[in-house]
Amino acid sequence: MSCAVLLDNNAKPKSMSRAKQWTGEIEDLYRFQQAGYRDELEYRQIKQVEIDRWPDTGFVKKLQRRDNTFYYYNRKRECEDREVHKVKVYVY
């Protein structure tokens, strides 16, 4: 993802693929998608707030859903191996 995409408030994904194996990036995407967003970029565009992260793992700690309720996530991995294939990875 380029810096120009981060600055563009109307950025739309060019393509989408499914995750094949778990990584830290896939964990974060899983958390954003559980809260109803494509990814961090869409969350920042809509909510315009800083993202709370766990200091030791760097994973997302708390997200606000579109209906203004909050999802709180654990420090450790939450995306189990059986859920990895459900995560969508967008390319801008």
| 12 vs 81, residue with greater confidence | 81
Question: Greater confidence, 11 or 31?
Answer: 31
Percent pLDDT > 70 in the chain is 90
What's the confidence (pLDDT) of residue 80?
97
| pLDDT at site 51 | 95
The span from the CA of 33 to the CA of 36, in Å, is: 5
Global pTM reads 0.87
pLDDT tens sequence across 36-67: 999 999 999 999 999 999 999 999 999 999 99
Q: What spatial distance separates the first Cα and last Cα of the chain, rounded to whole Å?
A: 6
